[in-house]
Amino acid sequence: MKQLSLDNLRTFVAVIDLGGYAKAGEKLGRSQPAISLQIKKLEQQLESKVFDKVGQRHQVNHEGLKLYKTAQQMLALNDELFRQFQPVSLKGRLRLGIPSEFATTLLPSIIGEFSHLYPNVSLEVTSALSKSLLSTDNAQGFDLVMALIDPDKPTEGQLILNDDLVWVGDKNRPLSQESLALVLAPDGCVYRSRVISKLKMQTLKWRISYTNADLTGITAAIKQGLGISALARSSVPEQLDIIEHPNLPDLGSIKICLFLKDSLHPQASSKLAEFIQSRLAS
């Protein structure tokens, strides 16, 4: 049985209410290409166009207007169900620790909807390497931590996804046949360790050309032609391409886990964990 994505419907309604892809993206915390992709997926599911391109603008058409009213009702029912099963009004300050690549690619799609449903909960987000987020020095610093764990290591965290590690780069910049240039995060990064260990098993020459802990800096370096990197498939930003090449070794998988800490606001923390899990699973 086919099922529509409520997330795509919410984006569709926002585009109409706000008058365009760009404004909807600003409200929802997503890029314009991401908004466009969601609308495209919605149209593919419905097998019908809901917007017509008029010059540089997207104008809702007859089919879109038919969908609009029903979409509003579905979203209202969804939000009402959440309110009904929310025994108390959630409030307080949540401290979330999350790897930087997921803060860049995952959080924007969560913050708008979560804040809409729970306006009295404020989020304080810290981005860092998983190793740092889980260190004993930070043990009391977070209500919720999302972290990457090697698949062969035991963990007390709640497994939410077994994800593939993939090579990422710019498809318009061919790989050098002489030496592989790498753009990596600093020591302690799970991706960095995996890449280096796999490459040491190969005969391919390689070097680290650039180091940066932030996904934005890594992305910029790759777009400037400084090399390629590795990421969990679910965290690859739109600006980068997944690279497949016979010279590149398979990087295996990674566990993405959530750690619920001793929180002053356990219900709010659990609800945020649900939001994160639903986004990664979709």
Q: What is the CATH number of the domain that holds 70?
A: 1.10.10.10
212 shares a domain with 177: yes
In a domain, 1, yes or no: no
Domain that holds residue 135: 92-282
Choose among 140, 100, 96: nearest CA to 122: 96
d(Cα 213, Cα 186) in Å, to the nearest integer? 6
204 shares a domain with 108: yes
Q: Of 46, 66, 84, which closes a domain? A: 84
Q: What CATH number does residue 201 fall under? A: 3.40.190.290
44 shares a domain with 146: no
Q: Of 58, 84, 110, which closes a domain? A: 84
In a domain, 184, yes or no: yes
Q: Of 33, 55, 84, which closes a domain? A: 84
242 shares a domain with 186: yes
d(Cα 220, Cα 215) in Å, to the nearest integer? 8
CA distances to 73, 83, 84, 115, 171 from 77, rounded to whole Å, are 6, 10, 10, 17, 43
3-state secondary structure of 259: strand
Task: List the beta bridge partners of residue 253.
Answer: 164
119 shares a domain with 65: no
154 shares a domain with 73: no
User: pLDDT in tens for each of the 282 residues of the chain?
Assistant: 678 888 899 999 999 998 888 888 888 888 888 899 999 999 998 999 999 988 878 889 999 999 999 999 999 898 888 777 765 567 888 899 999 888 888 888 787 778 878 888 888 999 889 988 888 665 568 899 999 999 988 888 899 999 999 999 999 988 887 789 999 999 999 999 999 999 999 888 999 999 998 999 999 999 999 999 999 998 999 899 999 998 899 999 999 999 988 777 788 888 888 888 887 766
Choose among 282, 256, 81: nearest CA to 165: 256
The pLDDT value given to residue 88: 56
In a domain, 164, yes or no: yes
The pLDDT value given to residue 25: 84
215 shares a domain with 146: yes
d(Cα 162, Cα 232) in Å, to the nearest integer? 10
203 shares a domain with 108: yes
In a domain, 35, yes or no: yes
CA distances to 79, 125, 126, 171, 277 from 143, rounded to whole Å, are 25, 10, 11, 39, 16
What does the angle CA 122 – CA 275 – CA 89 come to, to the nearest 5 degrees?
A: 50
The pLDDT value given to residue 277: 86
Kindly state the tokens that stand for 166. Answer: 């993939």
Q: Report how many domains make up the chain.
A: 2
In a domain, 244, yes or no: yes
The pLDDT value given to residue 209: 95
In a domain, 209, yes or no: yes
96 shares a domain with 55: no
In a domain, 213, yes or no: yes
d(Cα 280, Cα 106) in Å, to the nearest integer? 8
φ, ψ of residue 98 in degrees (nearest 5): -150, 140
8 Å CB contact between 167 and 228: yes
123 shares a domain with 206: yes
In a domain, 199, yes or no: yes
Kindly state the tokens that stand for 275. Answer: 């939001």
d(Cα 133, Cα 85) in Å, to the nearest integer? 31
d(Cα 194, Cα 179) in Å, to the nearest integer? 18
104 shares a domain with 26: no
238 shares a domain with 106: yes
